[in-house]
Structure 1
Amino acid sequence: MPLIVQMFFIYFTFTLSQIFPFLNSWGKFLHIQDVDAFFSALLALILYTGAYIGEVVKAGINSIPKGQFEAAQSLGMNRFQVMWYIIYPQAIRIIIPPLTSQFLNLIKNSSLAMTIGVAELTFATQQIDAETFRGFEAATAVTILYIILTLSTSFVMNLVEIKFSKGVKNA
């Protein structure tokens, strides 16, 4: 299901601030103008991205040969020990690159929150354009901000990938 459909469905079907009253106090603390729109967008992004991340993790774990699991169990390890010491360390190296892609998609998908009235970067660009007729300058600034966000995310994930690949020789 497309993310924008999920956002519309959550926003127009549920009044999250009535279902979860504590969101109003969080909204005041975070200086959020439209609490329902913000938390609807957040929930939609969490559900949408969480499903993809879950599949990435599942695929990474399933990519480890079953013989690894069986060999570790034959050494007397229980299921938790096998997963923690054998499977997860190998799977994390496989998971990191597609996980990076999902984080970058999350940054880009956050711009869809504008459709339900959340004042994020793209929304701010349109506001600046409407008030000052300086749309090009605003779009340039937002583009630079998105580039900074995505490059810093890529940089951090590359550092994580390097950390987890230490001591592993490529065949």
Structure 2
Amino acid sequence: MMANWYWKVFLAVPGGSYSSYLQWMISAWGWTVSVAVCSMMVALPLGSVIGIAQSLNLRLLNAISQSWIELFRNIPLILQVFLWYQVMPVLIPSLQRVPNFALIVAALGLYTSARIAVQVFSGIRALPHGQKSAGLALGLSTAQCYWYVVMPMAYRIILPALTTEMMSIIKNSSVAFAVSIGELTMFAMQAQEETGHGVEIYLAVTALYTVSAFSVNRLMRFIEQRTQIPGSVSQNTRGVVGATH
């Protein structure tokens, strides 16, 4: 069967602005990585804020944060993409001038922020209550206590869960094809139609997704090892936080 595979298809000229299907695929890979990175830049800080709000003993903030989590986590991602692409520009006309790339980043970023918020909240709850109390006793404000005491430890606890989210966001970036972003999935669909060599095309695209996810996994593992505090609570709660995913 391997003898019938035609890997030279990647050297063929597809026309347009690309000199080969290989160049087109590498460009599509760049779009995939760009969507994933930009979406995570939206999701991580936003999810952290929502997770912190969920942990505070304030009913209004608890209600807002819980509503945010339930809204974005329970609506299918592909539907959220179409809402941003089809509905939001009608409700907010100024969004009609926003590039499709920004819309997909908004959709994927907000969706992932709800998932990260749950992880952040779990990480905060896993900390001994005395750490926050000690910070407050030293004269720190609540904001300073979270910034200097709570969140540095909470992030260490949830690093394994954040690794999963970062790997997932690479896979979820494939929904960008729905709004004509030229990422890997769109490349695979178009290239296999043009060449008729779907096996080779999809195997190559699968390999690039695997490389991307594995690279994220290794990077996060390195960060985890560098930031781990011996004997800290993070070593004992990895399974607990991972189970909340």
What does residue 206 of structure 2 align with? 143
Q: Which deviates the most, 8-17 or 142-151?
A: 8-17
Which residue identity lines up with residue 13 of structure 1 in the other structure? V
Q: Which deviates the most, 85-94 or 117-126?
A: 85-94
Q: Answer yes or no: is 1:19 the counterpart of 2:94.
A: yes
Hey, what's the Cα distance between the residues in 1 that align with 2:165 and 2:210?
Answer: 16
Q: Residue 122 of structure 2: SS of its match in structure 1?
A: helix
Hey, what's the Cα distance between the residues in 2 that align with 1:125 and 1:21?
Answer: 28
Which residue identity lines up with residue 160 of structure 1 in the other structure? I
Give the CA deviation at 1:119.
Answer: 1.7
What does residue 89 of structure 1 align with? 152
Contact 2:88/2:95 (<8 A) preserved: no
Contact 1:92/1:164 (<8 A) preserved: no
Q: Answer yes or no: is 1:50 the counterpart of 2:113.
A: yes
- Runs of 5+ consecutive residues of structure 1 not aligned to the other structure: 24-34
Hey, what's the Cα distance between the residues in 1 that align with 2:139 and 2:86?
Answer: 54
Which residue identity lines up with residue 190 of structure 2 in the other structure? Q
Runs of 4+ in 1 over 4 A off after TM superposition: 20-23
Give the CA deviation at 1:12.
Answer: 1.0
What does residue 132 of structure 2 align with? 69
The correspondence for 2:194, drawn from 106, 117, 131, is 131
Given the superposition, is the C-alpha separation of residues 116 and 78 from structure 1 closer, same or farther in structure 2, using an over 3 Å criterion?
closer
Give the CA deviation at 1:78.
Answer: 3.5
Q: Residue 155 of structure 1: SS of its match in structure 2?
A: helix
Hey, what's the Cα distance between the residues in 2 that align with 1:151 and 1:97?
Answer: 14
TM-score between both structures, scaled by the size of structure 2: 0.58
TM-score between both structures, scaled by the size of structure 1: 0.81
Q: Residue 14 of structure 1: SS of its match in structure 2?
A: helix
Hey, what's the Cα distance between the residues in 2 that align with 1:101 and 1:117?
Answer: 26
**Which structure would you say has the larger RCO, counting Cα contacts within 8 Å and 6 or more residues apart?**
2
Given the superposition, is the C-alpha separation of residues 114 and 64 from structure 1 closer, same or farther in structure 2, using an over 3 Å criterion?
same
Hey, what's the Cα distance between the residues in 1 that align with 2:102 and 2:136?
Answer: 44
Residue deviations 1:34-65 (CA, integer Å, cap 9, x gap): x33x3322211011011211221122112212
RMSD: 2.3
Contact 1:73/1:82 (<8 A) preserved: yes
What does residue 9 of structure 1 align with? 83
Hey, what's the Cα distance between the residues in 2 that align with 1:77 and 1:40?
Answer: 39
- Runs of 5+ consecutive residues of structure 2 not aligned to the other structure: 1-74, 237-245
Hey, what's the Cα distance between the residues in 1 that align with 2:134 and 2:158?
Answer: 22
What does residue 28 of structure 2 align with? none
Q: Residue 118 of structure 1: SS of its match in structure 2?
A: coil
